[in-house]
Structures are given as structure tokens and as C-alpha cells.
Amino acid sequence: MSRLTTASTSVTEALQSRFSCRAFLDTPVPESDVKYLIETATRAPSGGNLQPWHMWAVQGEALKEFVADIKTKMADKPGGEGSEYHIYPPELKQPYDTRRRDIGERMYETLGIAREDRLGRLGQMARNFEFFGAPCAVFFALDKTMQEGQWSDMGMIIQSIMLLARERGLHSCPQEAWALWSPSIKSFLNIPDHMTFFCAMALGYADPDAAINQLESPRAPLDEVASFVGF
């Protein structure tokens, strides 16, 4: 059974078949599916039931025009406009730095892009700003007054959407890279100044023939990330 073409029917299957999809078909996502995913995902828990999230789903011409606008801006500002938060800690310590480098190397290896091929790597990075060809995007923002706990609540609704997407045969890619274009995104979606734009999510049907979708990300072994006491 292929994770690329099969819908999932259990939470375990959804978890195991979800991956960060980086090549999509242009088949649009039915509006009813997008609404179902977001509405159902709002069952995600949040501390104090604050529900500190806001989401904007965009598809069709509106998304195409936005992508075209960013492409134009990238000519002047290849590094984007700047994010409102640190995407990673300024000093990424071990083992996190190694894990980050490792997934990058695996990605470029899957694509056959050599280490010294800087342009090739930049080109792949730039695919972020086309939502990897996805027809639909969801944007996430939260109030600036929110703290770490509420950022974690945000993660829960994002993961819920991604898992629900698997039930409908859809795939996704969460994208912090879009934080680099926060001012443009906030102006495009009329996100008020009192909110921080967190990330976007590409949503659609995986391109089963794309090499990049063969990438399988590793995980640290259980004893490295969890401790069990009293068993």
C-alpha cells in the first residue's frame, strides 16, 4: 500500500502515512473537504479552551496571484522580508542542529542535488514559495499576547488538520518558510497587527511520481526521546 495514493482509515495509519509532501498535483481540493478539515480540527484541545488560533484557507486564482506576487518580490528580496519570530533558536544546539542538517542532506540526496550545487539547493528552497504546486494553502496566526502554551495549542490544530487530511486522501506540508514573508502575507489576508503570522500549510493531492515524495524522514530512537519510569 502506498502512502502516496491511499487514504487512511485509522489514526495510526494517518500518522504513519503523513509526511511533508513537497510535490502536489494541481487537482483542486473540494471546498467541503477544506471546511471539514478545519472545522473538525477545531476539536483539538487548547489550554483553558482559549482556541488561540486563526486560519485562512486560500485556493484558486487568489492563491495563484499571491504566489506570482511573491515571485516578483523575491527578485529584489531573495531572503524574504523577515519573520516576526525566530524560526529556529539563534544558536541551534546538539542534537537538533545535526538532525536539521541530516534531513536537509537527505532531501537534496533524494533529488540528486549535490552538496556544492548552491543554486540547485536554493531552487528547491524556493519551491516553498510556490506551495510545492499545491492548489490550496492554509495560513495560521495567533494573537501577539499568546505565550508558549498557546503556540503549542497551535501545533495541535495544525497536526489535527494534517491527520484529518489523510482520511480524504490529501497530503500536506507545514511551512514555516512562509514566515519570511510575513508582511506580504498579513497584507494579503488582512491579518491585523496584533497577530503574529506563524506558518502556512500546503494542502492537496501528492504527486506520486515526484522523487521528492519518496523522502522518508528518520526519527530518533525511542530511548533518546522518551523515558519510562515504574514499568
Ligand X SMILES: Cc1cc2nc3c(=O)[nH]c(=O)nc-3n(C[C@H](O)[C@H](O)[C@H](O)COP(=O)(O)O)c2cc1C
Regarding 204 and contact with ligand X (CB under 6 A), the answer is no
How many Å is the Cα radius of gyration of the chain?
18
Regarding 57 and contact with ligand X (CB under 6 A), the answer is no
User: Cβ of residue 210: shortest distance to ligand X, in angstroms?
Assistant: 13
Regarding 174 and contact with ligand X (CB under 6 A), the answer is yes
Residue choice 57, 177, 185, 210 for contact with ligand X (CB under 6 A): 177
Return the number of the residue (20 or 160) whose C-beta is nearest ligand X.
20
Residue choice 8, 160, 175, 196 for contact with ligand X (CB under 6 A): 175
Q: Which among 18, 61, 32, 58 is positioned nearest to 158, based on CA atoms?
A: 18
Binding positions for ligand X, 85-144, rule CB under 6 A? 103, 128
User: Cβ of residue 75: shortest distance to ligand X, in angstroms?
Assistant: 20
Stretch that binds ligand X, among 32-40, 49-57, 163-171, 175-183 (CB under 6 A): 175-183
Regarding 217 and contact with ligand X (CB under 6 A), the answer is yes
User: Cβ of residue 212: shortest distance to ligand X, in angstroms?
Assistant: 9
Residue choice 81, 84, 130, 176 for contact with ligand X (CB under 6 A): 176
- In the stretch 143-162, what mask flags binding to ligand X with x, by CB under 6 A? --------------------
DSSP string, the chain: --TTT----SHHHHHHH--B---B--PPPPHHHHHHHHHHHTTS--GGG----EEEEEETHHHHHHHHHHHHHHHH-TT-S--SS-SS-SS--TTHHHHHHHHHHHHHHHHT--TT-HHHHHHHHHGGGGGGG-SEEEEEEEETT--HHHHHHHHHHHHHHHHHHHHTT-EEEEEGGGGGGHHHHHHHHT--TTEEEEEEEEEE-B-TT-GGGG-------HHHH------
Return the number of the residue (25 or 156) whose C-beta is nearest ligand X.
156
Report the distance separating Cα 127 and Cα 222, nearest Å: 33
User: Cβ of residue 120: shortest distance to ligand X, in angstroms?
Assistant: 15
Regarding 13 and contact with ligand X (CB under 6 A), the answer is no
Binding site for ligand X (CB under 6 A): 19-20, 22, 103, 128, 173-177, 199, 217
